[in-house]
Structure 1
Amino acid sequence: MEAESIPSLSPLIQAADQWGELLVLLPLLVALEAVLSADNAIALAAISRRLHDPKLQGQALNLGLGLALVFRLVLIAAAQWVLDFWPLQLLAAGYLLWLCVTNLRQADAEDDEPADDSSAEAAQTGLSGVVVTLALTDLAFSLDSVAAAVAVSDNLLLVMTGGVLGVVALRLTSGLFIRWLEVYTRLEAAGYLAVGLVGIRLLLRLAAPQVVPPEWALLGIVALLFAWGFSNRVSDAEAEG
Protein backbone atom coordinates (compact mmCIF):
# COMPACT_ATOMS: atom_id res chain seq x y z
CA MET A 1 0.00 0.00 0.00
CA GLU A 2 1.40 3.40 -0.97
CA ALA A 3 0.58 7.00 -0.07
CA GLU A 4 -0.55 7.71 -3.62
CA SER A 5 -3.20 4.98 -3.44
CA ILE A 6 -5.20 6.69 -0.67
CA PRO A 7 -8.03 8.65 -2.33
CA SER A 8 -8.26 11.21 0.47
CA LEU A 9 -4.68 12.29 -0.28
CA SER A 10 -5.39 12.93 -3.97
CA PRO A 11 -6.18 16.67 -3.64
CA LEU A 12 -3.02 17.20 -1.62
CA ILE A 13 -0.79 15.43 -4.14
CA GLN A 14 -2.52 17.07 -7.11
CA ALA A 15 -1.91 20.46 -5.54
CA ALA A 16 1.78 19.62 -5.39
CA ASP A 17 2.24 19.30 -9.14
CA GLN A 18 4.49 22.33 -8.93
CA TRP A 19 7.95 21.20 -7.83
CA GLY A 20 8.34 24.03 -5.32
CA GLU A 21 5.23 22.87 -3.49
CA LEU A 22 6.37 19.25 -3.72
CA LEU A 23 9.56 20.05 -1.80
CA VAL A 24 7.44 21.26 1.10
CA LEU A 25 5.46 18.00 1.05
CA LEU A 26 8.43 15.65 0.73
CA PRO A 27 8.83 14.98 4.50
CA LEU A 28 5.10 14.20 4.76
CA LEU A 29 5.21 11.89 1.75
CA VAL A 30 8.25 10.04 3.11
CA ALA A 31 6.53 9.56 6.48
CA LEU A 32 3.32 8.36 4.81
CA GLU A 33 5.23 5.93 2.59
CA ALA A 34 7.06 4.50 5.62
CA VAL A 35 3.77 3.90 7.48
CA LEU A 36 1.67 2.66 4.57
CA SER A 37 4.33 0.30 3.22
CA ALA A 38 4.67 -1.59 6.51
CA ASP A 39 2.90 -4.70 5.16
CA ASN A 40 5.30 -4.79 2.20
CA ALA A 41 8.34 -4.04 4.38
CA ILE A 42 7.72 -6.88 6.81
CA ALA A 43 7.44 -9.38 3.94
CA LEU A 44 10.72 -8.11 2.49
CA ALA A 45 12.37 -8.29 5.93
CA ALA A 46 11.19 -11.88 6.46
CA ILE A 47 12.49 -12.90 3.03
CA SER A 48 15.86 -11.26 3.74
CA ARG A 49 16.19 -13.15 7.05
CA ARG A 50 16.62 -16.40 5.11
CA LEU A 51 20.24 -15.39 4.58
CA HIS A 52 20.92 -15.32 8.38
CA ASP A 53 24.07 -13.19 7.91
CA PRO A 54 23.23 -9.51 8.69
CA LYS A 55 25.74 -8.29 6.11
CA LEU A 56 24.14 -10.43 3.38
CA GLN A 57 20.68 -9.34 4.51
CA GLY A 58 21.59 -5.68 4.00
CA GLN A 59 23.19 -6.45 0.65
CA ALA A 60 20.11 -8.38 -0.49
CA LEU A 61 17.81 -5.50 0.48
CA ASN A 62 19.98 -2.98 -1.35
CA LEU A 63 20.18 -5.05 -4.54
CA GLY A 64 16.60 -6.30 -4.40
CA LEU A 65 15.08 -2.87 -3.84
CA GLY A 66 17.37 -1.38 -6.49
CA LEU A 67 15.89 -3.87 -8.95
CA ALA A 68 12.43 -3.17 -7.54
CA LEU A 69 12.91 0.54 -8.24
CA VAL A 70 13.62 -0.23 -11.89
CA PHE A 71 10.45 -2.33 -12.03
CA ARG A 72 8.41 0.46 -10.43
CA LEU A 73 9.61 3.09 -12.89
CA VAL A 74 8.80 0.80 -15.82
CA LEU A 75 5.35 0.16 -14.33
CA ILE A 76 4.71 3.88 -13.98
CA ALA A 77 5.69 4.49 -17.60
CA ALA A 78 3.36 1.65 -18.68
CA ALA A 79 0.63 2.24 -16.09
CA GLN A 80 -2.25 2.35 -18.58
CA TRP A 81 -1.21 -1.00 -20.03
CA VAL A 82 -0.85 -2.46 -16.54
CA LEU A 83 -4.31 -1.19 -15.61
CA ASP A 84 -5.87 -2.92 -18.63
CA PHE A 85 -3.84 -6.15 -18.58
CA TRP A 86 -5.76 -8.20 -16.03
CA PRO A 87 -3.62 -11.40 -16.33
CA LEU A 88 -0.66 -9.56 -14.81
CA GLN A 89 -2.78 -8.39 -11.88
CA LEU A 90 -4.16 -11.91 -11.44
CA LEU A 91 -0.62 -13.29 -11.41
CA ALA A 92 0.39 -10.72 -8.77
CA ALA A 93 -2.60 -11.62 -6.59
CA GLY A 94 -1.81 -15.33 -6.90
CA TYR A 95 1.84 -14.72 -6.02
CA LEU A 96 0.96 -12.74 -2.87
CA LEU A 97 -1.49 -15.42 -1.72
CA TRP A 98 1.08 -18.13 -2.42
CA LEU A 99 3.68 -16.16 -0.46
CA CYS A 100 1.28 -15.82 2.47
CA VAL A 101 0.20 -19.48 2.61
CA THR A 102 3.61 -21.10 2.05
CA ASN A 103 5.39 -18.93 4.61
CA LEU A 104 2.71 -19.40 7.27
CA ARG A 105 2.86 -23.17 6.74
CA GLN A 106 6.65 -23.09 6.87
CA ALA A 107 6.55 -21.15 10.14
CA ASP A 108 4.27 -23.81 11.65
CA ALA A 109 6.65 -26.56 10.53
CA GLU A 110 9.64 -24.75 12.04
CA ASP A 111 7.78 -24.45 15.36
CA ASP A 112 7.41 -28.24 15.43
CA GLU A 113 11.04 -28.99 14.52
CA PRO A 114 14.34 -27.79 16.04
CA ALA A 115 16.00 -25.00 14.10
CA ASP A 116 18.87 -26.15 11.86
CA ASP A 117 20.72 -23.47 9.95
CA SER A 118 22.60 -26.14 7.98
CA SER A 119 19.40 -27.61 6.48
CA ALA A 120 19.09 -28.17 2.74
CA GLU A 121 16.65 -25.29 2.45
CA ALA A 122 19.06 -22.86 4.07
CA ALA A 123 21.89 -24.11 1.86
CA GLN A 124 19.83 -23.62 -1.30
CA THR A 125 18.82 -20.09 -0.42
CA GLY A 126 21.42 -17.88 -2.03
CA LEU A 127 21.85 -14.15 -2.30
CA SER A 128 20.72 -14.00 -5.93
CA GLY A 129 17.53 -15.96 -5.20
CA VAL A 130 16.62 -13.69 -2.31
CA VAL A 131 17.31 -10.58 -4.41
CA VAL A 132 14.98 -11.78 -7.18
CA THR A 133 12.29 -12.75 -4.65
CA LEU A 134 12.48 -9.31 -3.02
CA ALA A 135 12.10 -7.55 -6.38
CA LEU A 136 9.17 -9.74 -7.46
CA THR A 137 7.41 -9.28 -4.12
CA ASP A 138 7.65 -5.51 -4.36
CA LEU A 139 6.47 -5.68 -7.98
CA ALA A 140 3.34 -7.59 -6.92
CA PHE A 141 2.64 -5.00 -4.21
CA SER A 142 3.22 -2.13 -6.63
CA LEU A 143 0.70 -3.05 -9.35
CA ASP A 144 -2.31 -1.63 -7.54
CA SER A 145 -0.67 1.48 -6.15
CA VAL A 146 1.09 2.49 -9.39
CA ALA A 147 -2.19 2.61 -11.29
CA ALA A 148 -3.71 4.70 -8.48
CA ALA A 149 -0.73 7.07 -8.44
CA VAL A 150 -0.97 7.79 -12.16
CA ALA A 151 -4.70 8.44 -11.73
CA VAL A 152 -3.93 11.02 -9.04
CA SER A 153 -1.43 13.06 -11.06
CA ASP A 154 -0.54 13.34 -14.76
CA ASN A 155 2.93 14.64 -13.87
CA LEU A 156 5.07 11.61 -14.71
CA LEU A 157 8.15 12.93 -12.93
CA LEU A 158 6.12 13.60 -9.80
CA VAL A 159 4.73 10.07 -9.78
CA MET A 160 8.22 8.64 -10.36
CA THR A 161 9.47 10.71 -7.44
CA GLY A 162 6.77 9.09 -5.31
CA GLY A 163 7.98 5.68 -6.50
CA VAL A 164 11.55 6.48 -5.50
CA LEU A 165 10.38 7.70 -2.09
CA GLY A 166 8.42 4.49 -1.64
CA VAL A 167 11.51 2.36 -2.26
CA VAL A 168 13.63 4.51 0.09
CA ALA A 169 10.96 4.16 2.80
CA LEU A 170 10.85 0.40 2.21
CA ARG A 171 14.60 0.10 2.66
CA LEU A 172 14.48 1.97 5.96
CA THR A 173 11.47 0.13 7.38
CA SER A 174 12.67 -3.30 6.19
CA GLY A 175 15.90 -2.82 8.14
CA LEU A 176 13.88 -2.05 11.26
CA PHE A 177 11.59 -5.04 10.78
CA ILE A 178 14.52 -7.45 10.46
CA ARG A 179 15.48 -6.52 14.03
CA TRP A 180 11.89 -6.54 15.30
CA LEU A 181 11.24 -10.00 13.86
CA GLU A 182 13.86 -11.34 16.27
CA VAL A 183 12.00 -9.80 19.21
CA TYR A 184 8.27 -10.20 18.47
CA THR A 185 7.25 -13.80 17.88
CA ARG A 186 3.94 -13.07 16.13
CA LEU A 187 5.14 -10.24 13.89
CA GLU A 188 6.14 -12.37 10.90
CA ALA A 189 2.78 -14.14 10.85
CA ALA A 190 0.98 -10.78 11.08
CA GLY A 191 3.01 -9.48 8.14
CA TYR A 192 2.22 -12.47 5.94
CA LEU A 193 -1.47 -12.25 6.84
CA ALA A 194 -1.34 -8.63 5.65
CA VAL A 195 0.32 -9.85 2.44
CA GLY A 196 -2.57 -12.28 1.93
CA LEU A 197 -5.02 -9.45 2.53
CA VAL A 198 -3.43 -7.43 -0.28
CA GLY A 199 -3.66 -10.47 -2.56
CA ILE A 200 -7.36 -10.91 -1.77
CA ARG A 201 -7.94 -7.21 -2.45
CA LEU A 202 -6.31 -7.53 -5.88
CA LEU A 203 -8.52 -10.53 -6.67
CA LEU A 204 -11.64 -8.62 -5.61
CA ARG A 205 -10.68 -5.68 -7.81
CA LEU A 206 -10.60 -8.04 -10.77
CA ALA A 207 -13.58 -10.29 -10.00
CA ALA A 208 -15.97 -8.10 -7.97
CA PRO A 209 -14.84 -4.46 -7.78
CA GLN A 210 -18.16 -3.44 -6.23
CA VAL A 211 -17.32 -5.35 -3.01
CA VAL A 212 -13.75 -4.08 -2.58
CA PRO A 213 -13.56 -2.67 0.98
CA PRO A 214 -12.78 1.04 1.40
CA GLU A 215 -9.22 2.11 2.10
CA TRP A 216 -9.97 3.02 5.73
CA ALA A 217 -11.30 -0.50 6.39
CA LEU A 218 -8.19 -2.09 4.89
CA LEU A 219 -5.93 0.18 6.93
CA GLY A 220 -7.89 -0.70 10.07
CA ILE A 221 -7.50 -4.44 9.49
CA VAL A 222 -3.77 -4.07 8.83
CA ALA A 223 -3.42 -1.98 12.01
CA LEU A 224 -5.15 -4.71 14.04
CA LEU A 225 -2.89 -7.36 12.53
CA PHE A 226 0.21 -5.41 13.47
CA ALA A 227 -1.11 -4.73 16.97
CA TRP A 228 -1.44 -8.51 17.36
CA GLY A 229 2.02 -8.99 15.82
CA PHE A 230 3.63 -6.71 18.39
CA SER A 231 1.69 -8.25 21.30
CA ASN A 232 4.08 -11.07 22.16
CA ARG A 233 7.73 -10.33 22.88
CA VAL A 234 10.58 -12.81 23.32
CA SER A 235 11.71 -12.91 26.96
CA ASP A 236 15.25 -11.91 27.83
CA ALA A 237 16.05 -15.51 28.82
CA GLU A 238 14.85 -16.85 25.47
CA ALA A 239 16.75 -14.17 23.57
CA GLU A 240 19.98 -15.06 25.35
CA GLY A 241 19.40 -18.74 24.77
Structure 2
Amino acid sequence: MNDILVLAAQPEAWAALVTLIVMEVVLGIDNLVFISILTNKLPEASRQSARRIGLGLALVLRLVLLGAVAWIVQLTTPVFTAFGHGFSWKDIILIAGGLFLVWKATKEIHHNVDPEEHAGEIIGGAVKTGFTAAIFQILLLDLVFSVDSIITAVGMTDHLPIMVIAVVVAVTLMLIASGPLARFIEANPTIVMLALSFLLMIGMTLIADGLGFHVPKGYIYAAMAFSGLVELLNMLARRKRMKDRALRGEGASSAPTVH
Protein backbone atom coordinates (compact mmCIF):
# COMPACT_ATOMS: atom_id res chain seq x y z
CA MET A 1 0.00 0.00 0.00
CA ASN A 2 2.86 2.35 0.85
CA ASP A 3 4.43 1.60 -2.56
CA ILE A 4 1.20 2.62 -4.30
CA LEU A 5 1.05 5.89 -2.32
CA VAL A 6 4.67 6.62 -3.23
CA LEU A 7 3.89 5.97 -6.91
CA ALA A 8 0.82 8.22 -6.74
CA ALA A 9 3.04 11.11 -5.68
CA GLN A 10 5.32 10.73 -8.72
CA PRO A 11 4.34 12.65 -11.91
CA GLU A 12 6.30 10.19 -14.07
CA ALA A 13 4.19 7.35 -12.68
CA TRP A 14 0.99 9.13 -13.77
CA ALA A 15 2.50 9.78 -17.21
CA ALA A 16 3.37 6.09 -17.53
CA LEU A 17 -0.14 5.11 -16.42
CA VAL A 18 -1.85 7.35 -18.99
CA THR A 19 0.50 6.13 -21.73
CA LEU A 20 -0.15 2.48 -20.84
CA ILE A 21 -3.93 2.99 -20.75
CA VAL A 22 -3.86 4.59 -24.22
CA MET A 23 -1.64 1.78 -25.51
CA GLU A 24 -3.89 -0.93 -24.06
CA VAL A 25 -7.01 0.71 -25.50
CA VAL A 26 -5.44 1.07 -28.95
CA LEU A 27 -4.20 -2.52 -28.93
CA GLY A 28 -7.63 -3.59 -27.68
CA ILE A 29 -9.35 -2.26 -30.80
CA ASP A 30 -8.29 -5.38 -32.72
CA ASN A 31 -9.67 -7.62 -29.99
CA LEU A 32 -12.88 -5.61 -29.73
CA VAL A 33 -13.61 -5.88 -33.47
CA PHE A 34 -13.07 -9.64 -33.29
CA ILE A 35 -15.34 -9.98 -30.24
CA SER A 36 -18.08 -7.91 -31.91
CA ILE A 37 -18.09 -10.04 -35.07
CA LEU A 38 -17.90 -13.28 -33.09
CA THR A 39 -20.70 -12.53 -30.61
CA ASN A 40 -22.99 -11.23 -33.36
CA LYS A 41 -23.19 -14.83 -34.59
CA LEU A 42 -24.82 -15.92 -31.34
CA PRO A 43 -28.56 -15.74 -30.65
CA GLU A 44 -29.40 -12.17 -29.66
CA ALA A 45 -30.29 -13.13 -26.07
CA SER A 46 -26.78 -14.57 -25.52
CA ARG A 47 -24.65 -11.86 -27.09
CA GLN A 48 -24.32 -9.48 -24.15
CA SER A 49 -23.58 -12.34 -21.75
CA ALA A 50 -20.92 -13.70 -24.10
CA ARG A 51 -19.23 -10.31 -24.34
CA ARG A 52 -19.27 -9.82 -20.57
CA ILE A 53 -18.04 -13.32 -19.75
CA GLY A 54 -15.42 -13.25 -22.50
CA LEU A 55 -14.00 -9.88 -21.47
CA GLY A 56 -14.26 -10.76 -17.77
CA LEU A 57 -12.25 -13.94 -18.29
CA ALA A 58 -9.85 -12.00 -20.52
CA LEU A 59 -9.26 -9.55 -17.64
CA VAL A 60 -8.54 -12.44 -15.27
CA LEU A 61 -6.16 -13.94 -17.85
CA ARG A 62 -4.27 -10.67 -18.23
CA LEU A 63 -3.95 -10.22 -14.46
CA VAL A 64 -2.63 -13.78 -14.14
CA LEU A 65 -0.10 -13.08 -16.89
CA LEU A 66 0.93 -9.86 -15.12
CA GLY A 67 1.50 -11.91 -11.97
CA ALA A 68 3.87 -14.06 -14.03
CA VAL A 69 5.50 -11.06 -15.73
CA ALA A 70 9.02 -12.33 -15.00
CA TRP A 71 8.19 -15.51 -16.92
CA ILE A 72 6.47 -13.55 -19.71
CA VAL A 73 9.59 -11.44 -20.27
CA GLN A 74 11.63 -14.63 -20.75
CA LEU A 75 9.40 -15.55 -23.70
CA THR A 76 11.53 -13.19 -25.82
CA THR A 77 14.57 -15.47 -25.45
CA PRO A 78 15.20 -17.42 -28.70
CA VAL A 79 14.57 -21.18 -28.35
CA PHE A 80 15.63 -22.23 -31.87
CA THR A 81 16.99 -20.74 -35.08
CA ALA A 82 15.59 -21.19 -38.57
CA PHE A 83 16.34 -19.34 -41.81
CA GLY A 84 18.83 -17.18 -39.94
CA HIS A 85 16.24 -15.92 -37.44
CA GLY A 86 16.07 -16.84 -33.76
CA PHE A 87 12.49 -17.75 -32.83
CA SER A 88 11.29 -17.17 -29.26
CA TRP A 89 8.09 -18.39 -27.64
CA LYS A 90 6.69 -14.90 -28.18
CA ASP A 91 7.33 -15.25 -31.92
CA ILE A 92 5.67 -18.67 -31.97
CA ILE A 93 2.60 -17.31 -30.12
CA LEU A 94 2.34 -14.34 -32.50
CA ILE A 95 2.62 -16.57 -35.58
CA ALA A 96 0.03 -19.02 -34.22
CA GLY A 97 -2.33 -16.16 -33.33
CA GLY A 98 -1.81 -14.54 -36.72
CA LEU A 99 -2.57 -17.79 -38.54
CA PHE A 100 -5.72 -18.21 -36.44
CA LEU A 101 -6.87 -14.67 -37.30
CA VAL A 102 -6.14 -15.15 -41.02
CA TRP A 103 -8.06 -18.45 -41.02
CA LYS A 104 -10.98 -16.99 -39.06
CA ALA A 105 -11.23 -13.81 -41.15
CA THR A 106 -10.96 -15.75 -44.43
CA LYS A 107 -13.66 -18.17 -43.31
CA GLU A 108 -16.01 -15.34 -42.32
CA ILE A 109 -15.38 -13.47 -45.57
CA HIS A 110 -16.23 -16.65 -47.48
CA HIS A 111 -19.47 -16.99 -45.52
CA ASN A 112 -20.41 -13.37 -46.28
CA VAL A 113 -19.55 -13.58 -49.97
CA ASP A 114 -21.30 -16.92 -50.57
CA PRO A 115 -24.02 -17.25 -47.88
CA GLU A 116 -26.10 -19.76 -49.90
CA GLU A 117 -23.39 -22.40 -49.60
CA HIS A 118 -23.61 -22.09 -45.81
CA ALA A 119 -27.38 -21.67 -45.57
CA GLY A 120 -27.64 -24.37 -42.90
CA GLU A 121 -25.20 -22.46 -40.68
CA ILE A 122 -27.03 -19.13 -40.81
CA ILE A 123 -29.09 -17.76 -37.96
CA GLY A 124 -30.46 -14.22 -37.89
CA GLY A 125 -28.38 -13.25 -40.92
CA ALA A 126 -25.07 -14.41 -39.40
CA VAL A 127 -23.18 -17.68 -39.31
CA LYS A 128 -24.10 -19.29 -36.02
CA THR A 129 -21.58 -20.47 -33.46
CA GLY A 130 -21.71 -22.04 -30.03
CA PHE A 131 -21.59 -20.01 -26.80
CA THR A 132 -18.65 -21.98 -25.38
CA ALA A 133 -16.81 -21.88 -28.70
CA ALA A 134 -17.21 -18.09 -28.82
CA ILE A 135 -15.81 -17.67 -25.29
CA PHE A 136 -12.89 -20.00 -26.09
CA GLN A 137 -12.00 -18.05 -29.24
CA ILE A 138 -12.18 -14.72 -27.37
CA LEU A 139 -9.76 -16.04 -24.73
CA LEU A 140 -7.47 -17.58 -27.34
CA LEU A 141 -7.04 -14.34 -29.22
CA ASP A 142 -6.79 -12.29 -26.03
CA LEU A 143 -3.89 -14.52 -24.94
CA VAL A 144 -2.00 -13.56 -28.10
CA PHE A 145 -2.63 -9.83 -27.68
CA SER A 146 -1.96 -10.00 -23.92
CA VAL A 147 1.52 -11.47 -24.33
CA ASP A 148 2.43 -8.79 -26.88
CA SER A 149 1.00 -5.89 -24.82
CA ILE A 150 2.53 -7.06 -21.52
CA ILE A 151 6.00 -7.35 -23.03
CA THR A 152 5.56 -3.84 -24.47
CA ALA A 153 4.32 -2.55 -21.10
CA VAL A 154 7.33 -3.98 -19.28
CA GLY A 155 9.54 -1.95 -21.61
CA MET A 156 7.69 1.22 -20.55
CA THR A 157 7.55 0.75 -16.77
CA ASP A 158 8.72 -1.74 -14.17
CA HIS A 159 5.93 -0.92 -11.69
CA LEU A 160 3.39 -3.76 -11.53
CA PRO A 161 0.57 -1.67 -9.92
CA ILE A 162 0.67 0.73 -12.89
CA MET A 163 0.36 -2.15 -15.35
CA VAL A 164 -2.52 -3.70 -13.37
CA ILE A 165 -4.48 -0.42 -13.22
CA ALA A 166 -3.91 0.18 -16.95
CA VAL A 167 -5.19 -3.31 -17.83
CA VAL A 168 -8.29 -2.97 -15.60
CA VAL A 169 -9.17 0.45 -17.05
CA ALA A 170 -8.60 -0.71 -20.65
CA VAL A 171 -10.72 -3.86 -20.29
CA THR A 172 -13.47 -1.84 -18.56
CA LEU A 173 -13.54 0.60 -21.48
CA MET A 174 -13.65 -2.35 -23.90
CA LEU A 175 -16.60 -3.79 -21.99
CA ILE A 176 -18.47 -0.47 -22.21
CA ALA A 177 -17.73 -0.06 -25.93
CA SER A 178 -18.34 -3.69 -26.95
CA GLY A 179 -22.14 -3.47 -27.01
CA PRO A 180 -22.49 -0.27 -29.10
CA LEU A 181 -19.76 -1.43 -31.50
CA ALA A 182 -21.38 -4.85 -31.98
CA ARG A 183 -24.77 -3.24 -32.67
CA PHE A 184 -23.20 -0.77 -35.11
CA ILE A 185 -21.46 -3.57 -37.02
CA GLU A 186 -24.67 -5.61 -37.13
CA ALA A 187 -26.72 -2.66 -38.39
CA ASN A 188 -24.26 -1.91 -41.20
CA PRO A 189 -23.42 -5.06 -43.22
CA THR A 190 -20.71 -3.31 -45.25
CA ILE A 191 -18.86 -2.59 -42.00
CA VAL A 192 -18.64 -6.36 -41.38
CA MET A 193 -16.56 -6.90 -44.53
CA LEU A 194 -14.35 -3.93 -43.64
CA ALA A 195 -13.86 -5.25 -40.10
CA LEU A 196 -12.99 -8.72 -41.43
CA SER A 197 -10.43 -7.10 -43.74
CA PHE A 198 -8.94 -5.40 -40.68
CA LEU A 199 -8.67 -8.76 -38.92
CA LEU A 200 -6.99 -10.26 -41.99
CA MET A 201 -4.48 -7.40 -42.04
CA ILE A 202 -3.84 -7.69 -38.29
CA GLY A 203 -3.31 -11.45 -38.64
CA MET A 204 -0.71 -10.91 -41.37
CA THR A 205 0.97 -8.27 -39.18
CA LEU A 206 1.22 -10.72 -36.27
CA ILE A 207 2.76 -13.33 -38.56
CA ALA A 208 5.24 -10.76 -39.91
CA ASP A 209 6.20 -9.73 -36.35
CA GLY A 210 6.70 -13.37 -35.41
CA LEU A 211 8.97 -13.87 -38.42
CA GLY A 212 11.09 -10.87 -37.44
CA PHE A 213 9.63 -8.27 -39.81
CA HIS A 214 8.39 -5.49 -37.52
CA VAL A 215 5.50 -3.45 -38.91
CA PRO A 216 4.93 -0.17 -37.00
CA LYS A 217 1.49 -0.28 -35.40
CA GLY A 218 0.93 3.36 -36.33
CA TYR A 219 0.82 2.44 -40.02
CA ILE A 220 -1.77 -0.25 -39.35
CA TYR A 221 -4.07 1.95 -37.29
CA ALA A 222 -3.68 4.86 -39.71
CA ALA A 223 -4.80 2.58 -42.56
CA MET A 224 -7.72 1.32 -40.46
CA ALA A 225 -8.77 4.88 -39.55
CA PHE A 226 -8.58 6.02 -43.19
CA SER A 227 -10.61 3.02 -44.39
CA GLY A 228 -13.16 3.61 -41.66
CA LEU A 229 -13.48 7.28 -42.65
CA VAL A 230 -14.01 6.35 -46.33
CA GLU A 231 -16.69 3.82 -45.36
CA LEU A 232 -18.38 6.41 -43.12
CA LEU A 233 -18.56 8.81 -46.08
CA ASN A 234 -20.00 6.01 -48.22
CA MET A 235 -22.65 5.32 -45.57
CA LEU A 236 -23.63 8.99 -45.44
CA ALA A 237 -23.83 9.10 -49.24
CA ARG A 238 -26.03 5.98 -49.33
CA ARG A 239 -28.39 7.41 -46.71
CA LYS A 240 -28.68 10.66 -48.65
CA ARG A 241 -29.52 8.78 -51.87
CA MET A 242 -32.15 6.72 -50.06
CA LYS A 243 -33.64 9.88 -48.55
CA ASP A 244 -33.71 11.59 -51.94
CA ARG A 245 -35.43 8.57 -53.55
CA ALA A 246 -37.99 8.50 -50.74
CA LEU A 247 -38.73 12.21 -51.19
CA ARG A 248 -39.08 11.80 -54.97
CA GLY A 249 -41.42 8.87 -54.40
CA GLU A 250 -43.57 10.90 -52.01
CA GLY A 251 -43.64 13.79 -54.46
CA ALA A 252 -44.75 11.55 -57.33
CA SER A 253 -47.48 9.90 -55.25
CA SER A 254 -48.86 13.27 -54.10
CA ALA A 255 -48.96 14.82 -57.60
CA PRO A 256 -52.51 15.27 -58.95
CA THR A 257 -53.64 12.95 -61.73
CA VAL A 258 -54.71 14.73 -64.97
CA HIS A 259 -57.56 13.12 -66.98
TM-score range, shorter chain: 0.7 to 0.9
Partners of 2:234 and 2:144 in 1: CA distance:
29
Residue in structure 1 matching 2:43, options 33, 36, 52: 52
Q: 5 Å matches for 1:114-129?
A: 116-117=122-123, 122=128, 125-129=129-133
Partners of 1:193 and 1:181 in 2: CA distance:
13
Residue in structure 2 matching 1:73, options 51, 63, 72: 63
Residue in structure 1 matching 2:113, options 97, 101, 108: 108
Partners of 2:173 and 2:228 in 1: CA distance:
18
Q: Aligned pair 1:141/2:130, yes or no?
A: no
Q: How much has 1:192 moved relative to structure 2? A: 2.0
Q: Aligned pair 1:18/2:7, yes or no?
A: yes
Q: Aligned pair 1:99/2:92, yes or no?
A: no
Distance 1:178 1:203, change over 3 A: same
1:96-119 alpha-carbon deviations (Å, 9 max, x no partner): 222221111121122787795289
Unpaired segments ≥5 residues, structure 2: 1-5, 78-88, 244-259
The SS at the match of 2:36 is: helix
Q: Aligned pair 1:196/2:200, yes or no?
A: yes
Q: How much has 1:39 moved relative to structure 2? A: 2.8
The answer on whether the counterparts of 2:21 and 2:170 sit within 8 Å (CA) in structure 1 is yes
Partners of 1:23 and 1:58 in 2: CA distance:
33
Aligned residues: 215
Larger-gyration structure (1/2): 2
Q: How much has 1:226 moved relative to structure 2? A: 2.1
The SS at the match of 1:182 is: helix
The answer on whether the counterparts of 2:185 and 2:191 sit within 8 Å (CA) in structure 1 is yes
Residue in structure 2 matching 1:62, options 24, 47, 52: 52
Q: How much has 1:227 moved relative to structure 2? A: 2.3
What is the identity percentage for the equivalent residue pairs of Structure 1 and Structure 2?
22
Q: CA RMSD in A?
A: 3.2
Counterpart of 1:12? none
The SS at the match of 2:187 is: coil
The answer on whether the counterparts of 2:20 and 2:153 sit within 8 Å (CA) in structure 1 is no
Q: How much has 1:40 moved relative to structure 2? A: 2.1
Partners of 1:75 and 1:143 in 2: CA distance:
8
Distance 1:195 1:140, change over 3 A: farther
Q: Counterpart amino acid of 1:138?
A: D
In terms of fraction of residues, the more strand-rich structure is 2
The SS at the match of 1:71 is: helix
Partners of 1:51 and 1:36 in 2: CA distance:
25
Partners of 1:118 and 1:225 in 2: CA distance:
27
The answer on whether the counterparts of 1:39 and 1:195 sit within 8 Å (CA) in structure 2 is yes
The answer on whether the counterparts of 1:95 and 1:140 sit within 8 Å (CA) in structure 2 is no
The answer on whether the counterparts of 1:188 and 1:229 sit within 8 Å (CA) in structure 2 is no
The answer on whether the counterparts of 1:149 and 1:159 sit within 8 Å (CA) in structure 2 is yes
Partners of 1:100 and 1:199 in 2: CA distance:
9
The answer on whether the counterparts of 1:60 and 1:131 sit within 8 Å (CA) in structure 2 is yes
Counterpart of 2:84? none
Counterpart of 1:82? 75
Distance 1:228 1:184, change over 3 A: farther
Partners of 1:214 and 1:34 in 2: CA distance:
17
The answer on whether the counterparts of 2:209 and 2:215 sit within 8 Å (CA) in structure 1 is no
